[in-house]
């Protein structure tokens, strides 16, 4: 149908009518020259378009299509439309149901190739133009570039199935691959093996050297696992320091054990973290199966790994034997109980006195956590801190200890202070300074009566954010104590990194101060170092009066240990600083001497005794050697008490 401006009703006279008349005259001009209309609607259109004959040959292309494909009109006109197709795309079958070339009937997303060989995705649509008699004449092909959206969708899928740190498949990807592998194994008559690895003592490196160093270590471990597995196997990061190898087409357990031995060997070479070489090991759990549910196979591998780590040994391989041991069932139940301990008001604080060696007056108490389990009785920290780590509860426990200690101490005589241990992980968390401020404000405890205790190695390797949090707390009046003083390899550095108020000489030195001249000389040096820097000095672990007399004679002013009082529940009446009874007694109830010793012994947490300081090593160091230099494991201080 021909349309002209005369076929359109005229608007009324006036300003608006004059404007409408101008528009109608413009339409008259445009319709009078169809070439201008074609250029406006096709050639200059922002959407890539082409006129194509029924056989699929390009007749006319617009500028937008040239820009999208990186080709000129001369490159495309006269060529078949399959010129744009990606070579990896399958040919379009000819169904023979019409005059159009099959490439023209493809509507929807297509993968194309630019002139430079790069890939793009486009949404294709077509419209057939007919003559006045209804005969198909040519096709208008439209293509919209959706490459960015397609890549964003692929990136989302990749992120959903990939660990962002290491680039390995994650737990979600493992579920899909394990289902597929088990289905294939049943058809082939072979089995699927799982090798579940957990790095030994990784947390010591992560907490002390920092999260960035820990991440670098995990990336290097992932790289070694990736290139040391077979093509048909899949290395997966489950989270934290846990990895898993999904091994397909495994004939027997011997073959799976050989693979595990090879993987442990790959981890034997030192890892370079910054300028330090670290020697690392891993504990391994193995399981094998085919006619089994995926979740059951994963549980079997985890159970075997739990047994491998149960006695604290390293680089140990355990095989699933069909069931959980009594100790594993017991540990799982303990972990479940701990989740409810906070809500059920089962946690307790025991307090150990800190006294003046000069006149044996009470100066304050150190707060130590205990768990009053409803069926197991009173548990020391060494019995449940591992369960807390496994359930990510260490920070929640630290918050409870800090708040409860502040509320308890607020009711004591004004001269008494409370000491609270802070783990490296808790100190590094955002909002720690606000947590301390809120606990003091809500309890009414003056800031100068709260002393936070951190380990020497935490002070040495604290990140900038940690240093800032400590600075904010001490600026408010809270004091800071350096615990386990002397066990690290750079005590003076630790004193300069943070605003230290008090140093506590470690019990491992005090135990031999009377009988070992070398130890006595070391302790005397530590005391003089602290006093010379204007710090308060507390000796820990004093168990008899001979030790107390020696320390008093050599300038130590304060002490803590069984000779002056064992950890016990908060007394009903807190004595004043001048009339405290220093005779140590056991807490009431079912607590025995062995209970207290188990709670205070370092071996209760699987840690070796801390040796005297050693000069920095120049060779590759094991994680144990790092710990012996003062690098803490998770919540090491709480485990010692």
Per-residue pLDDT of 145-180, as tens digits, reads 998 988 888 887 778 888 989 999 998 889 889 998
Sign for the pseudo-dihedral over CA of 376, 379, 382, 384: positive
Burial of 629 (0-12, 13-18, 19+ CB in 10 A): buried
3-state secondary structure of 51: strand
Sign for the pseudo-dihedral over CA of 549, 553, 558, 561: negative
Taking the whole predicted model, whether its pTM rises above 0.85 is answered as: no
| 17 within some domain | no
Q: Domain end: 117, 151, 185, which one?
A: 151
Comparison of pLDDT for 460 and 299, the residue scoring more: 299
Residue 4 confidence (pLDDT):
38
Mean pLDDT confidence for 110-121: 90
Q: Please check whether residues 120 and 182 belong to one and the same domain.
A: no
CATH number of the domain residue 273 falls in: 3.30.70.270
| 567 within some domain | no
What secondary structure letter does DSSP report for 40?
I
- The count of structural domains within the chain is 3
Q: Please check whether residues 174 and 216 belong to one and the same domain.
A: yes
Q: Please check whether residues 439 and 372 belong to one and the same domain.
A: yes
Q: Please check whether residues 413 and 520 belong to one and the same domain.
A: yes
CATH number of the domain residue 98 falls in: 3.30.450.20
Q: How far is CA 393 from CA 16, 145, 389, 534, in A?
A: 75, 50, 6, 37
| 404 within some domain | yes
Query: Strand 108-113 and strand 58-61: pairing?
Result: unpaired
Burial of 506 (0-12, 13-18, 19+ CB in 10 A): buried
Q: Which residues of 118-129 are buried (b: 16+ CB within 10 A; e: fewer)?
A: eebbbebebeee
| 618 within some domain | no
Whether the per-residue pLDDT at 365 is higher than 60: the answer is yes
Out of 192-206, 408-422, 610-624, pick the least confident: 610-624
Neighbours of 288 (CB within 10 A): 22
Comparison of pLDDT for 597 and 433, the residue scoring more: 433
CATH number of the domain residue 336 falls in: 3.20.20.450
Separation CA 500–CA 307 (nearest Å) = 42
Mean pLDDT confidence for 426-450: 90
Residues 271, 280 contacting (CB under 8 angstroms): yes
Q: Tokens for 321?
A: 């034997």
Q: Please check whether residues 336 and 307 belong to one and the same domain.
A: no
Q: What is the CA radius of gyration of the chain?
A: 37
| 289 within some domain | yes
Sign for the pseudo-dihedral over CA of 440, 444, 448, 452: negative
Domain that holds residue 80: 40-151
Whether the per-residue pLDDT at 479 is higher than 90: the answer is yes
| 69 within some domain | yes
| 444 within some domain | yes
Q: Please check whether residues 115 and 143 belong to one and the same domain.
A: yes
As a residue count, the chain comes to: 641
| β-pair partners for 453 | 421, 481
Q: Domain end: 271, 301, 323, which one?
A: 323
Q: Please check whether residues 398 and 287 belong to one and the same domain.
A: no
What are 530-571's pLDDT values in tens digits? 888 889 999 999 988 889 999 999 999 999 999 888 999 876
| 30 within some domain | no
Query: Which percentage of the chain shows pLDDT scores above 70?
Result: 76
| β-pair partners for 196 | 244, 285
Residues 92, 103 contacting (CB under 8 angstroms): yes
Q: Please check whether residues 346 and 212 belong to one and the same domain.
A: no
Q: How far is CA 11 from CA 4, 6, 22, 29, in A?
A: 15, 12, 11, 19
Residue 309 confidence (pLDDT):
85
Q: Please check whether residues 387 and 505 belong to one and the same domain.
A: yes
Residue 610 confidence (pLDDT):
28
Query: Given pLDDT bands bounded at 50, 70 and 90, which one contains residue 29?
Result: low
Residue 633 confidence (pLDDT):
37
Out of 15-24, 443-452, 507-516, pick the least confident: 15-24
What are 572-629's pLDDT values in tens digits? 555 544 444 433 332 332 333 233 334 333 223 332 232 333 333 344 555 555 544 4
Query: Given pLDDT bands bounded at 50, 70 and 90, which one contains residue 2?
Result: very low
Comparison of pLDDT for 285 and 153, the residue scoring more: 285
Separation CA 349–CA 371 (nearest Å) = 9
Q: Please check whether residues 484 and 549 belong to one and the same domain.
A: yes
Q: Domain end: 303, 323, 343, which one?
A: 323
Q: Please check whether residues 437 and 295 belong to one and the same domain.
A: no
Q: Tokens for 66?
A: 């040239």
Neighbours of 447 (CB within 10 A): 17
Q: Please check whether residues 434 and 299 belong to one and the same domain.
A: no
What are 219-230's pLDDT values in tens digits? 999 999 999 888
């Amino acid at each position: 149908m021909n349309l002209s401006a005369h076929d359109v009703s005229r608007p009324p006279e006036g300003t608006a009518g004059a404007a409408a008349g101008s528009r109608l005259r413009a339409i008259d001009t445009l319709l009078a020259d169809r070439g201008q209309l074609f250029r406006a609607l096709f050639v200059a259109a922002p959407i890539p378009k082409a006129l194509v004959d029924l056989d699929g040959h390009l007749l006319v292309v617009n500028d937008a299509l040239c820009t999208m494909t990186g080709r000129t009109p001369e490159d495309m006109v006269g060529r078949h439309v399959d010129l744009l197709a990606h070579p990896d795309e399958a040919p379009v079958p000819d169904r023979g149901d019409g005059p159009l070339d099959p490439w023209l009937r493809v509507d929807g997303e297509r993968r194309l190739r630019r002139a430079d060989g790069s890939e793009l995705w486009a949404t294709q649509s077509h419209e057939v133009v007919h003559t006045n008699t209804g005969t198909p004449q040519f096709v208008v092909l439209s293509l919209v570039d959706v490459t960015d959206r397609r890549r964003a969708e692929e990136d989302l899928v990749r992120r959903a199935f990939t660990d962002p740190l290491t680039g390995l498949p994650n737990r979600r990807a493992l579920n899909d691959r394990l289902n597929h592998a088990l289905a294939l194994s049943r058809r082939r008559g072979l089995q699927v093996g799982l090798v579940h690895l957990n790095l030994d003592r990784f947390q010591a490196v992560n907490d002390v050297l920092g999260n960035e160093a820990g991440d670098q270590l995990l990336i290097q471990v992932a790289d070694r696992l990736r290139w040391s597995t077979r093509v048909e196997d899949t290395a997966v990061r489950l989270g934290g320091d846990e990895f898993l190898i999904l091994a397909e087409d495994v004939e027997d357990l011997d073959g799976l054990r050989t693979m595990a031995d090879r993987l442990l060997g790959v981890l034997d070479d030192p890892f370079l973290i910054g300028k330090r070489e670290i020697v690392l090991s891993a504990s391994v759990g193995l399981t094998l199966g085919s006619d089994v549910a995926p979740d059951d196979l994963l549980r079997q591998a985890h159970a075997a790994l739990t047994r491998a780590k149960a006695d604290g040994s390293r680089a140990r391989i355990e095989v699933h034997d069909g069931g959980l041991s009594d100790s594993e069932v017991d540990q799982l139940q303990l972990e479940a109980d701990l989740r409810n301990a906070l809500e059920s008001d089962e946690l307790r604080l025991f307090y150990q006195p800190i006294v003046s060696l000069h006149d044996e007056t009470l100066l304050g108490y150190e707060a130590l956590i205990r768990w009053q389990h409803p069926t197991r009785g009173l548990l020391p920290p060494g019995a449940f801190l591992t369960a807390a780590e496994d359930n990510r509860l260490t920070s929640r426990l630290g918050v409870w200890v800090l708040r409860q200690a502040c509320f308890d101490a607020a009711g004591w005589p004004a001269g008494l202070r409370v000491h609270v241990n802070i783990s490296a992980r808790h100190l590094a968390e955002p909002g720690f300074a606000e947590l301390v401020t809120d606990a003091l404000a809500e309890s009414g405890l003056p800031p100068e009566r709260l002393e936070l205790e951190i380990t020497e190695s935490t002070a040495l390797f604290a990140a900038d954010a940690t240093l800032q949090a400590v600075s904010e707390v001490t600026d408010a009046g809270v004091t800071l104590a350096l615990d386990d003083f002397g066990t690290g390899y750079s005590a003076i550095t630790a004193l300069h990194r943070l605003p230290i108020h008090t140093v506590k000489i470690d019990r491992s030195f005090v135990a031999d101060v009377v009988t070992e001249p070398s130890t006595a000389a070391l302790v005397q040096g530590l005391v003089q170092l602290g006093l010379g820097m204007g710090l308060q000095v507390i000796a820990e672990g004093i168990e008899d009066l001979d030790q107390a007399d020696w320390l008093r004679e050599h300038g130590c002013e304060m002490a803590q240990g069984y000779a002056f009082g064992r950890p016990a529940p908060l007394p009903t009446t807190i004595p004043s600083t001048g009339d405290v009874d220093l005779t140590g007694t056991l807490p009431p109830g079912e607590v025995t001497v062995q209970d207290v010793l188990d709670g205070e012994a370092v071996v209760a947490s699987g840690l070796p005794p801390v040796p005297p300081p050693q000069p920095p090593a120049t060779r590759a160091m094991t994680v144990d050697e790092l710990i012996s230099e003062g690098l803490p494991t998770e919540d090491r201080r709480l485990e010692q008490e």
